[in-house]
Chains A and B, each alone.
Chain A
Amino acid sequence: MSKVLMKGNEALGEAAIRAGCVHFFGYPITPQTEVPEYLVKRLPEVGGAFVQAESEVAAINMVYGAAGVGIKCMTSSSSPGISLMAEGMSYLAACELPCVVINIMRAGPGLGGILPSQSDYFQATRGHGHGDYELIVLAPASVQEAVDLMTLAFELTEKYRNPVMVCADGMIGQMMEPVEFSGKGRGEPYKENDWELTGNKGRPRRIVNSLFLAPEQLFQHNIHLKEKYDRIHRDEMRWELYGGETPYDLLVVAFGTMARICKTAIDEVRREGLRVALFRPITLNPFPTTACREAMDAMGESGRVLTVEMNMGQMVHDVRYAAAESRRVEFYGTAGGIVPSPDQVADEIRGRIARRTESHSERVRELMPDAIWMGTGLCAEAQGDGVPCAGTDGTCDTCGKALPAGGQAASRAL
């Protein structure tokens, strides 16, 4: 099959069709609206149905209902809309129903803005609804990968009977790139269907339910779900190591759009002789912790880690968890829809490498000559996150050196 030039959002829609999705329920919101716009045309062509719900809350509950009767279905939204779907996702996970949810992330919090962002990392991997449940979260870095992961999303949601989120950002959604759809033909309905509510004539009744008033029963249900999540964490981690075939002293960790921008930056600094590699989680949940740690350990003790995100520092916590005190994990990020350019990332990489030889207080002065100093009493060296902070009495709590005039511990350097 030859390549076609498609917008990320439309390609996601087409990939869903080819995966066998027959029902879509959603509500418009920038920058994901081309997903429903594409599917409203395509679904009737394949005998499916498209419903524009009255709200995101309604949309996710329509997904809940359709999934309950065994329909291959999905929804799509962008950050604030996903927040509204949180409750429904908890119910879907609790009832072990399969569905795919697309989040084309935009800048938050609140209504925020419509430009690309990665600030829903916490929401995708931790947050959304209540209770002990998880989503499988897949993060594409190109339009082609969006298509491939959409196909995988429907496979995984069927395999584990758990909602799967494809988590991209406004840039992936809006940009066009060549894509190739595999020639496998249209996906089948779900094969394992012993849970579908289809009317119990001639068979024992089935129940789709998330209410367990007896604590022992609910505990058992949670244990059952946990076993499933453990299997997912064991078997479904996916990642890419870029530039890892040659030795490196700095490991950049980034996902999605940010990862491909980092690739360009890394190509640039490698031409200057800097030894840098990229670790790119493809599954945000399960986070590829072991592989990330191995990529760090390949550097030896002095190797540093820089996490780059289009947010104020979210995935960096998982990277630090992977590092487990073994080394510093620094952070660079932007928010509000500002996408760092490859040049900015390259400068950041050069700075981090150069900084190794500088004292802490020199770095504080350099980074924040006019910074607002506040008394948090924390030190970056202690936190290990590269954010220059210091003590409350004008000297750094860790290294004891003097801070700029009137210095108290610093706020974040941005």
Chain B
Amino acid sequence: MNTEPALLTDTEVLMAGFGGQGTLLAGKVLAQASMELGRAVSWLPSYGPEMRGGTANVIVCIASRPIGSPLIERPRALIVMNLPSLEKFAPKVKPGGVIIVNQSLIDRDPQRDDCRVIKVPSRELAEEAGSARAANFVMLGAYIGATDTVPEDAIERAIAVEFEGDKEKFVAPSVAAFRAGVEAGRQSTH
């Protein structure tokens, strides 16, 4: 049995943004990567009225033992892509948690002195990396860079799995965007 998972901490990540920003997909990649490391995972998307109002969010739970409730009211991490989601979810993050803010679209502070707040210009970094559409992977990268929840190569493998087949052309820009995000996350931490 691989002993690596036991070294990693349990966490819950809420990713939120507009529909089309790829929050659900980035969450799936995080869940996929964690699963490949032998961890228990759940990926619970919003599919209700809030989604129809234009926002989409997903809660990814990562644990070393079977996950009880996949529904988390107070997550340890928030990756937030747009302002409505910041206003809605920032107050819910557990004290001591981490909030990754999409600086390209959000000019407001989450006002959480008890959390680590990391602001990332995701669109600009994604464009530099080759695809403006990969801003979601910049955000995921910033989270990984800031927390080391999952090893980077595991995420990169999961991106490759996600875009297997006729979507393979998305792998390179997504990985590049992810790496740019990791760098941004690291820098803001040190």
- Please give the residue numbers on chain A whose beta carbons come within 8 Å of chain B beta carbons, in ascending order: 3, 5, 30-31, 113-115, 170-171, 174-178, 260-261, 263-265, 267, 337, 339, 341-343
Contact B42 A342 (CB under 8 A): no
Question: Do B41 and A175 touch (CB < 8 A)?
Answer: no
Q: Report chain B residues within 8 Å CB of A341.
A: 69, 71-73
A113 and B71 contacting across the interface, CB-CB below 8 Å: no
- A-B pairs with the 7 shortest C-beta distances? A264-B68, A176-B43, A264-B69, A263-B68, A261-B69, A175-B44, A341-B73
Enumerate chain B interface residues (CB-CB to A < 8 A).
Answer: 28, 31-32, 35, 40-45, 47-49, 67-73
Q: Is the CB of A261 within 8 A of B71?
A: yes
Chain A residues contacting B42 (CB-CB under 8 Å) are: 175-177
Q: Which residue of B lies closest to A258 (CB)?
A: B69
Q: Which of B35, B44, B48 contacts A5 (CB 8 A)?
A: B35
Give CA–CA (A5, B24) in the complex, Å: 14
**Closest partner residue, chain A, to B41 (CB atom):** A178
Bound complex: CA A261 to CA B73 (Å): 12
**In this complex, which of A31, A175, A267, A341 has the most chain B Cβ atoms within 10 angstroms of its Cβ?**
A175
- Taken together as a complex, chains A and B put the C-alpha atoms of A113 and B48 apart, in Å, by 8
Q: Which of A170, A342, A343 contacts B47 (CB 8 A)?
A: A170
Residues A5 and B41 in contact in the complex (CB < 8 Å), given A115-B48, A178-B35, A337-B48: yes
A337 CB, min distance to chain B CBs, angstroms: 7
- In this complex, what residue of B is CB-closest to A2? B36
B182: shortest Cβ distance to chain A, in Å?
22
14 A-B pairs in the complex with CB atoms less than 8 angstroms apart:
A5-B28, A5-B35, A30-B47, A114-B47, A114-B48, A171-B71, A175-B42, A175-B43, A177-B67, A178-B35, A178-B40, A263-B68, A341-B69, A341-B71
Nearest opposing residue in chain B for A173, CB measure: B47
- Nearest CB of B to A345, in Å: 9
Chain A residue contacts of B72, Cβ below 8 A:
341
**Nearest residue, chain B, Cβ from A264:** B68
Taking CB atoms, residues of chain A closer than 8 Å to B31 are 5, 176
Partner of A175 from the list B35, B40, B68, B70 (CB cut-off 8 Å) is: B70
Query: Which residue of B is nearest A343, CB measured?
Result: B73
> CB within 8 A of A267: which of B35, B49, B68, B71?
B68
- A265 vs B70: C-alpha distance when bound (angstroms): 12
Bound: A299/B32 CA distance, A: 42
Neighbouring A residues of B47 by C-beta, 8 Å:
30-31, 114-115, 170, 174
List of A residues within 8 angstroms of B48 by Cβ: 113-115, 337
Most chain A beta carbons < 10 A, residue from B42, B45, B68: B68
- Chain B positions within 8 Å of A343 at CB level: 73
Please state if B32 and A175 are interface contacts (CB–CB under 8 Å): no
A342 vs B68: C-alpha distance when bound (angstroms): 9
